[in-house]
């Protein structure tokens, strides 16, 4: 399990950085091919973090349901983010068919509901720091529905907040260094006094 926690922490930190840094750059120069590419791949790195967060807290029905819905929503929203940032970015004002818009909206809704449910379980468990957990509960659903909006300083700031939250949560699941026991049993002095 130590591997999963470390892997989740590393991937989560990278996911957060892959959202925050391009978001900050876009606040000054606008969306570029490079920033879109980095943001587009960030959801794939968030999945191991989600698993590590789940593994680190006590198992409850709310936590399990929240994890499952959040994980499935992340997969759906991650695919939508990939499409928006990597595929559609290179097309001039693409017109999406009504079924496509419905599916994209449904994936965002599933992710947002899963995020709130899982965040509620993390708040209840009190295993992770409360500030990033509350930020996760509020900022990630906003971030989800802001994805198709044009880039503004507000959406760039939201990228930085969400990315910072993921890095903070990643730090909370990273296991402490495993230290060998110093002297687990006292030495018996066999020498005569």
- Angle subtended at Cα 122 by Cα 119 and Cα 127, rounded to the nearest 5 degrees: 150
Q: What is the pLDDT of residue 190?
A: 54
- Report residue 182's pLDDT band, with 50, 70 and 90 as the boundaries: very low
Highest mean pLDDT: which of 27-31, 88-92, 157-161, 174-178?
A: 157-161
Q: CB of 112 within 8 A of CB of 73?
A: yes
Report d(CA 32, CA 106) in Å as an integer.
27
Residue scoring higher pLDDT (24 or 87): 24
CB burial of 96-125 (b: ≥16 within 10 Å; e: otherwise) equals eeeeeeeebeebbbbbbebbbbbbebbbeb
CA 91 centroid distance within chain: 28
pLDDT digits (tens, 9 = 90+) for 3-32: 999 999 999 999 999 999 999 999 899 888
Global confidence as pTM: 0.85
pLDDT digits (tens, 9 = 90+) for 115-173: 999 999 999 999 999 999 999 999 999 998 887 777 788 999 999 999 999 999 999 99
pLDDT at 185 over 60: no
Token pair of 58 as six digits: 């006590």
User: For residue 10, what are the CA distances in angstroms to 45, 116, 122?
Assistant: 9, 23, 20
């Amino acid at each position: 399990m130590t591997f999963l926690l470390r892997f989740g922490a590393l991937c989560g930190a990278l996911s957060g950085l892959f959202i925050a840094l391009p978001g900050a750059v876009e606040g000054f120069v606008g969306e570029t091919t490079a920033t879109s590419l980095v943001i587009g791949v960030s959801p794939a790195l968030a999945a191991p973090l989600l698993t590590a967060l789940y593994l680190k807290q006590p198992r409850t029905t709310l936590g399990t349901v929240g994890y499952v819905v959040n994980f499935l929503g992340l997969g759906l929203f991650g695919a939508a983010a990939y499409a928006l940032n990597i595929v559609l970015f290179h097309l001039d004002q693409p017109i999406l068919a009504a079924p496509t818009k419905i599916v994209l909206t449904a994936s965002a809704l599933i992710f947002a509901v899963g995020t709130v449910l899982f965040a509620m379980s993390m708040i209840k468990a009190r295993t992770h720091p409360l500030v990033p957990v509350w930020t996760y509960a509020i900022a990630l659903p906003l971030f989800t529905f802001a994805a198709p909006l044009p880039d503004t300083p507000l959406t760039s700031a939201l990228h930085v907040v969400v990315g910072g939250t993921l890095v903070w949560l990643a730090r909370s699941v990273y296991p402490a260094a495993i230290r060998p026991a110093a002297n687990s049993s006292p030495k018996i002095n066999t020498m005569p006094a």
